[in-house]
Amino acid sequence: MKLKNIFTIALAGLALSACSDDFLENKPQGSLSDGNMNDPSAVDLLVNGAYATFGCRYADSNDPHLFPVTNWSYGEVRADNAYKGGGSETDLWEIHDMETSRIQPNNGFLDGKWFNVYCGISRCNSAIRALRKVDESQNKNKASRIAEVRVIRDHWYFELVRLFNRIPYMDIDLPENDYTSVRNDEFTRDEHLDRIANDLLEAANDLPDSQSEIGRINRRIALAYAAKVKLYQAYEQDPQTNAVTGINRTLLQEVVDLIDGIQGYDLLADFQQLDLLEYENGPESVFAIQFSKDDGSSGVGRINWSMLLNSMTGPGCPWQGDGFFLPSQDLINAYQTDADGLPVFDYQNRPDYGKVVFDSNGGYSLGNTDGNVDPRLDFITGRPTIRYKTFEERACGLWVRNSDVYGYNNTKRFWLSPESKDAEQGWPWGASALNWQIIRYADLLLYKAEALIELGGNGLEEARTLINRVRARAMNSSYVKDFNDPSKDAANYKIGLYPATGWTQDYARRALRTEMRLEKAMEGERFFDLVRWGIAKETMNNFFAAEKDNCIYYQNVSFETGEEYFPIPVAQYNFSGGIYVQNPGYPAF
């Protein structure tokens, strides 16, 4: 199903309830019409329909795990942080092609993502048009509700720009019959980002600083998202090569000023609290997709279906999932630290850290573990012989579906501990109500640090303080303990703070980019960061060279200029009647 079908779906979708939490639990009472648009429950229904787009479940597109809102495939497997995993290279070959930079316009997972995101935009457009008809005297929340939907719509447009670059802009008031006449090269990347940021700022003017209902978009969310968009916009790109040609200092300063004006957030005390239900809407959560389980809806509930394929599996594993989305050995290696607890920038010149070694009896251990590592290594990745969260029956084993191809490491982030009563024990394995964080406070600290570093001058010292604040949280978190001897740490954890000595702009830039990777690994952002910084080609080719002995399928892989963005799906070109233009780096239609 293509873009032409989403208009009726979007309207019908307004009768769906949204993701979770009290304000999303309204049950549909009937169809909407001009006659009942002033009914507050009707307004809530429209807005809930917009929030429901985060579930990405539309009519005959009921596979959000293939087109994930979390971007685990588009932002992590496509980068140097993760392998596809699963049964083999041909198991979901569409994602394998993303991993190996062999993407073609006929990749159905590109078309599915495009379709799902435009479904979300169309539903938001329909909701805004209908909400405009509401009598404000009868619904005091009208302006705020419209602003909430605008922020959701801006989120989806930002996703499209990061993924596809050349995209058609469907104006709220554009008649649906005219959609096929909208070109995808009418606006540049910078023009799209400028419009998104300005719309977020305008929406912020109609939003309260906080909402009484958990999960509702507020003014601070809109401002935080505007800062993120402006940070991307600041890196000016050549429209033909996608190379970064300059950095806009005015926009960088706007990023700093916006983040300075956002109050009321803080880091959680322990990094591992990010994956505990009781902290999911805590002080670090800026903008999160609210998921729920056993909430009275059909099946297991409104869980994060994007993660359906990714629970671990294997002999002795408490879950028997599909085993997709596995941390790369390169990511494991990147957590190595020196004698001062600082990152080892040239880790790719070192032997692999913590690889599984088998003895003659079939037993196994981890080799090359004498060096220091950042404790976030074992907060984020599940490694054999290492305690898996609070699971007491056994240490993490060889819980990978095809270890001959993908090694033995799995993921801890985004999962509850297997014995938790809040984690599903059957299919979908490990499912829970854990939210997905679109923006958290650590992001804002690092975004501001990034802007300050690129501005240079006196801001470098403040940037060091901000980065060290993120590192200090990891330093002060509870380290993973040895499974057999809880009096000992599971590895030689050592993380230090950056000193003022040697803190030049070049060194600070490298530190920031490393910190962004280590803090946010597997959160769906890595590839987009590389493109923003203009280092995707260099980073990915270094990764393929470093990993070719671990992954035989990397032997003849290379990343080429132009692959910073996905190709425009051929199905969407056909829908446009041939007016769409392909992205540079791919053969013209």
Reading the chain (589 residues) residue by residue, the pLDDT tens digits are 333 333 333 333 443 333 333 333 333 344 455 556 566 677 788 899 999 999 876 544 568 899 999 999 999 999 999 999 999 999 999 999 999 999 999 999 999 999 999 989 999 999 999 999 988 888 889 999 999 999 999 999 999 999 999 999 999 998 878 888 999 999 999 999 999 999 999 999 999 999 999 999 999 999 999 999 999 999 999 999 999 999 999 999 999 999 999 999 999 999 999 999 999 999 999 999 999 998 888 788 999 999 999 999 998 999 999 999 999 999 999 999 999 999 999 999 999 999 999 999 989 999 999 999 999 999 999 999 999 999 999 999 999 999 999 999 999 999 999 999 999 999 999 999 999 999 999 999 999 999 999 999 999 999 999 999 999 999 999 999 999 999 999 999 999 999 999 999 999 999 999 999 999 999 999 999 999 999 999 999 999 999 999 999 999 999 999 999 999 999 999 999 999 999 999 999 9
Q: Are 549 and 566 in contact (CB under 8 A)?
A: no
Compute the distance between CA of residue 578 and CA of residue 66 in angstroms, rounded to an integer.
27
Rounded CA separation 314/388 (Å): 14
User: Which 3 state secondary structure label does DSSP give 85?
Assistant: strand
For residue 11, the model assigns a pLDDT of: 37
Tell me what pLDDT residue 232 has: 98
Query: Which residue matches tokens 């040697």?
Result: 502
Dist. CA 547–CA 525, nearest whole Å = 21
Residues listed for the chain: 589
Question: Cα angle at 499 between 498 and 500, to 5 degrees?
Answer: 125
Q: Identify which of 163, 158, 104, 166 has the alpha carbon closest to the alpha carbon of residue 581.
A: 166
145, amino acid identity = R
Residue 77 CB partners (closer than 8 Å, separation 6+): 83, 84, 95, 98, 99, 325
* DSSP-derived 3-state class of residue 244: strand
| CB-count burial class (<10 Å; 0-12, 13-18, 19+) for 357 | exposed
Tokens of 200: 């977020």
Give the CA dihedral 211, 216, 219, 222, nearest 10 degrees. 170
CA distance 124 to 159: 15
**Exposed, middle or buried by CB within 10 Å (0-12, 13-18, 19+), for 99?**
buried
CA distance linking residue 282 with residue 286, whole number of Å: 9
> What is the domain partition of the chain in residue ranges?
3-254+564-575
Q: Give the SS3 label for residue 371.
A: coil
Q: Considering only CA atoms, which of 383, 374, 375 is closest in space to residue 342?
A: 374
> What pLDDT is recorded for position 31?
47
pLDDT at 138: 81
pLDDT at 225: 98
Going by DSSP bridges, is the β-strand pair 324-327/285-289 parallel, antiparallel, or unpaired?
unpaired
Q: How far apart are the first and last CA of the chain?
A: 21
∠ Cα 440 81 327 (to 5°): 100
CB 77 within 8 Å of CB 99: yes
Which residues is 235 bridged to in the sheet? 247
* 576, two tokens: 């446009």
Find the DSSP H helices in 419-569: 441-455, 459-475, 505-520, 526-533, 536-547
| Candidates 3.90.700.10, 3.40.1360.10, 3.40.1000.10, 1.25.40.390; CATH matching 3-254+564-575 | 1.25.40.390
Angle formed at CA 489 by CA 482 and CA 361, multiple of 5 degrees: 40
Number of H helices and E strands in the chain, helices first, is: 17, 12
Distance from C-alpha of 46 to C-alpha of 489, rounded to nearest angstrom: 51
* Distance, CA of 295 to CA of 460 (rounded, Å): 48
Q: Strand, coil or helix: what is 14? A: coil
> One-letter amino acid identity for 546?
A
* 48-66 exposure pattern, b = at least 16 Cβ within 10 A, e = fewer: bbbbbbbbbbbeebebbbb
544: left (phi over 0), alpha (psi -120 to 50) or beta: alpha
Which tokens sit at 276? 């505990």
pLDDT of amino acid 176: 78
CA–CA separation, 324 vs 458, rounded Å?
45
